[in-house]
């Protein structure tokens, strides 16, 4: 296990450690077992899923997030239940996407899609490596490190040596793709802090790729985050500009600062906390804290163009914005950072049908700001 010191931002602003720990245990209970905030649902004695409560399905995003939360909190039973459900229902054992996970399933396990979303695969792999190091490998699907390596092998080598499908990363520019075979990316999928670790723990022949992917993702994030606002678009071209082309499967736009985008500065914050490498991407944390300060003070967040002009109604996931911008303090401490963290501390978890996405990012932010989102 790699060891380092992790900042506890809550302690830095004067909150007592006992109060922080009590709050963490409350969040843990509410997320997994509470009445109003829970998104974790057991199935029998040995499986469970994380429900996207806004869409009434289970997604690789949420399943892999849940596994990451479990390994950080030393919850092996819940981790194994989520992983068994994902392998039983989401994993595709044949066909064009063999070796990947269907990005959406009904809560009874029926696949809603026959294609993957790459952010799920990268979180699955990282959570499994951490599980291997924290708890040790067992047999079958609970040989965690083997499962992680096989996921990453599929991500890079689909389509080679007669294998069907296409990879999840562009081999020329080392960027993660929005979906396998696409010619654009999602800035919030770029996790250089994961790639640094994949470069240590993946199959040896792939380690150089992951090392370069970490370098290129940090360079990419500089281009994808607006200089003035720190905002990134939901989907973006390989040069970092917002992806404005029409997509065949939707009429929705994805070139603005909207739901996916909120994760980008949180990822920048965690990357800097883990590895301390700033190629210029940390500027986004400073910019977003300054630009959204009035929204923070009013507790009213909007949908924005990435240049900062208001694009429409109020944000669908305001608590996610509060959480991720507070988490960006790990990358850039500004004159406003304490205010952002205090605001987040005072913000309760979300209830109601939209609680899933907000509370996932809320939980990650609380772990990170309390020094509990760690390399295992």
Annotated catalytic residues are 61, 260
Enumerate residues 6+ apart whose C-beta is below 8 A from 110. 89
Element (H, E) at 12: helix 9-12
Task: Quote the CA–CA distance of 279 and 32 in Å, as a whole number.
Answer: 37
Dist CA 143 CA 154 (whole Å): 17
Is-contact 201 129, C-beta < 8 A? yes
CB 330, CB 276: distance < 8 Å: no
The full DSSP string for 201-268 is: HS-GGGHHHHHHHHHHHHHHHHHHS-TTT----SSB-TTSSB--SPBTTB----SSB-GGGGHHHHHH
State the first-to-last Cα distance of the chain, in angstroms, to the nearest integer.
5
DSSP state of 142: G
Q: Which of 102, 109, 62 is nearest to 85 (CA)?
A: 109
């Amino acid at each position: 296990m790699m060891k380092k010191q992790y900042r506890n931002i809550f302690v830095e602003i004067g909150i007592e450690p006992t109060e922080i720990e009590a709050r963490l245990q409350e969040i843990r209970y509410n997320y997994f077992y509470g009445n109003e905030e829970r998104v974790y649902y057991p199935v029998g004695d040995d499986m469970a899923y994380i429900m996207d409560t806004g869409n009434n399905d289970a997604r690789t995003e949420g399943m892999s997030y849940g596994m990451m939360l479990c390994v950080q909190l030393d919850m092996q039973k819940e981790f194994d239940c989520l992983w068994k459900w994902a392998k039983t229902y989401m994993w595709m054992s044949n066909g064009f996407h063999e070796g990947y996970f269907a990005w959406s399933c009904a809560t009874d396990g029926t696949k809603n899609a026959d294609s993957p979303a790459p952010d799920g695969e990268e979180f699955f792999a990282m959570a499994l490596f951490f599980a291997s190091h924290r708890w040790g490998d067992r047999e079958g699907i609970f040989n965690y490190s083997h499962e992680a390596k096989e996921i990453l092998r599929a991500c890079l080598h689909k389509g080679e040596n007669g294998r069907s499908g296409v990879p999840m990363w562009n081999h020329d520019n080392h960027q993660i793709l929005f979906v396998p075979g696409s010619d654009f990316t999602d800035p919030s999928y770029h996790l250089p802090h994961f790639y640094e670790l994949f470069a240590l723990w993946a199959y040896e022949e792939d380690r150089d790729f992951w090392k370069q992917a970490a370098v290129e993702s940090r360079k990419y994030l500089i281009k994808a985050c607006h200089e003035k606002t720190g905002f990134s678009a939901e989907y973006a071209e390989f040069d970092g500009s917002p992806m404005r082309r029409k997509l065949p499967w939707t009429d929705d736009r994805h070139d603005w600062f909207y739901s996916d985008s909120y994760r980008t500065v949180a990822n920048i914050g965690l990357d800097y906390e883990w590895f301390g490498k700033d190629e210029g991407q940390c500027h986004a944390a400073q910019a977003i804290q300054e630009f959204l300060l009035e929204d923070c003070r009013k507790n009213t967040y909007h949908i924005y163009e990435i240049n900062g002009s208001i694009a429409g109604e109020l944000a669908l996931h305001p608590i996610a914005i509060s959480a991720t911008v507070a988490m960006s303090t790990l990358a850039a401490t500004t004159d406003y950072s304490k205010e952002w963290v205090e605001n987040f501390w005072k913000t309760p978890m979300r209830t109601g049908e939209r609680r899933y996405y907000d509370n996932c990012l809320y939980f990650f932010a609380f772990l990170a700001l309390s020094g509990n989102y760690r390399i295992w």
